[in-house]
Amino acid sequence: MLNHIAVDIGASSGRLVHGALIAGQMVIRELYRFDNRFHRVEGHDYWDIDHLLEEILAGLVLAKRGGIGRCTLGIDTWAVDYVLLDRTGKRIHEVYAYRDSRTNGAPDNFHRVIPREAVYRKTGIQELSFNTLYQLFVHDPEQLKRTDAILLVPDYLYFRLTGRQINELTNASTTQLLNLQDGEFDPELLGILGLDRAQFAELTEPGIKLGPLLPELKEAYDLPECELVVVPTHDTASAVVGVPAAGDRPWAYLSSGTWSLLGAELAEPLNTGSAMSCNYTNERGAYGTFRFLKNIMGLWMIQETRRVSAIDCSFAELAQWAEEAPPFQSLVACNHPRFLNPADMIEEIRSFCRETGQPVPATLGEVARCIFESLALTYRDAMEELERLTGRTFEVLHIVGGGSHNGLLNQLTADLLGKPVCAGPSESTAIGNLAVQMIACGCLYDVRSARETIDGSFPITRYTPRPVENRKQLLERWERVKTSPVF
């Protein structure tokens, strides 16, 4: 039996997950979990990247103590954030967190130089103020000049572990700097940023073996013999590999975590004007695919509600209180930029409701219910756009990721979409990461057989759509909420 370890780091926590194939089934076990969050220093939000590296090493030490002497290892994290390195491989700056407000208004300024349509035609990437393109646009130009290598966060972690510099493709596509024609960094966009192709590393497709851990790390820590495999280092790309889609039924996915990413896997990009106006993106997926999807604010709204709440509670309690709250009292336009990083999410939701003339949610249960219902309505809109833009009908929505545990949200989604929902696995990101390692080692044949194996290995809950009371009036109200003038 071969051992594989997925390092999967999200915005609020990281974990090391062991995976193996046993009698044709994928079996996973969490080895180690640690916290992650960004920190505010002098008005800016930063990740503590050295802490992440230390936690990976701590997890590997535990793995060895637990009897894993030899393994492959793959790393995924969130996207877009980057590290600038000098010629000696040292960091030139602390790593900005993408929610930092320095990119507010940056897209408008950037598109005075080159129109948004031109950039979308080139890259097919949705406009999010925090895309690497806009972050680099507002980055200190002096530092950019001194930069020898620009790596995204997981690329940097691979570099610290192996000494090798790559720009992994699925994550590199989220920079909004790759041209869809040739898959390379676009010279015109680089030129506007004052950057040169040589400042990036080699674009590398997931699925290859990168090499062993650096000998000095092995000496300093008691680590297993590790071979690093390049997995889809963008967590969402790994999550899509981990979708348990078996058979030929057309399926869409919703990767539900800090963000909700709803979309479909396509063989070709779709960078039309209508895809742009719906803000759909064409991120690269594993094995030559495109992730045609849309970012929806996601469970970040619940995470922040819990963080700022005066009442100490678990996510399960929040979900339970939401179940008990009366349905469809107030709705919020989740994708409004005001919800990206407010100081107090609960207050922001209440102000939105007040400004739009809706009942103001009082209890935590009411706030949580408002979030879940608004998310489900946003999923409905996104699915409608997805079917219109692709000209396809999707027979099922797979909800994967931590959010797939949320029964209320799953059922609301099935009801509002009028489609069956298959929920699980919740660890799809680590599972997808592991599946690519298993394919690279020849233990699984390809992504199709990986998905069949995943389908046969993890419990999946099916939700059948139920009729929504006063559906028409609800959708009219929703339309009014989304189009009301708020700031």
- For residue 8, the minimal CB distance to ligand LFR (Å) is 10
- For residue 461, the minimal CB distance to ligand LFR (Å) is 22
235 is catalytic: yes
Q: Does 80 bind ligand LFR (CB under 6 A)?
A: yes
Pick between residue 79 and residue 409 the one whose CB is nearest to ligand LFR.
79
- For residue 254, the minimal CB distance to ligand LFR (Å) is 12
Selected binder of ligand LFR within 162, 176, 295, 305 (CB under 6 A):
295
Selected binder of ligand LFR within 98, 110, 372, 379 (CB under 6 A):
98
Buried b (16+ CB within 10 A) or exposed e, 419-437: bebbbbbbbbbbbbbbbbb
Q: Does 235 bind ligand LFR (CB under 6 A)?
A: yes
Question: Peptide bond preceding 425: is omega within 30 degrees of 0, i.e. cis?
Answer: yes
Q: Considering only residues 128-157, where is the footprint of ligand LFR by CB under 6 A?
A: none
Pick between residue 8 and residue 455 the one whose CB is nearest to ligand LFR.
8
Q: Does 341 bind ligand LFR (CB under 6 A)?
A: no
Residue 41 CA: distances (Å) to CA of 52, 97, 339: 18, 11, 21
Q: Considering only residues 194-233, where is the footprint of ligand LFR by CB under 6 A?
A: none
Distance, CA of 312 to CA of 262 (rounded, Å): 31
Q: Considering only residues 7-46, where is the footprint of ligand LFR by CB under 6 A?
A: 10
Count of positions on this chain that bind ligand LFR (CB under 6 A): 13
- Listed ranges 75-83, 113-121, 367-375, 404-412: which one lies at the site for ligand LFR (CB under 6 A): 75-83
- For residue 78, the minimal CB distance to ligand LFR (Å) is 4
Catalytic residue among 8, 100, 155, 235: 235
Q: Does 78 bind ligand LFR (CB under 6 A)?
A: yes
Class of residue 272 by CB neighbours under 10 A (exposed 0-12, middle 13-18, buried 19+): middle
Q: Does 352 bind ligand LFR (CB under 6 A)?
A: no
Residue 91 CA: distances (Å) to CA of 83, 257, 294, 337: 7, 29, 32, 30
Amino acid identity at 321:
W
Pick between residue 20 and residue 297 the one whose CB is nearest to ligand LFR.
297
Tokens for 72, please give them.
């492959």
Pick between residue 281 and residue 330 the one whose CB is nearest to ligand LFR.
281
Contacts to ligand LFR by CB under 6 A: 10, 78-80, 98, 234-236, 257-259, 261, 295
> Which active-site residues does the annotation give?
235
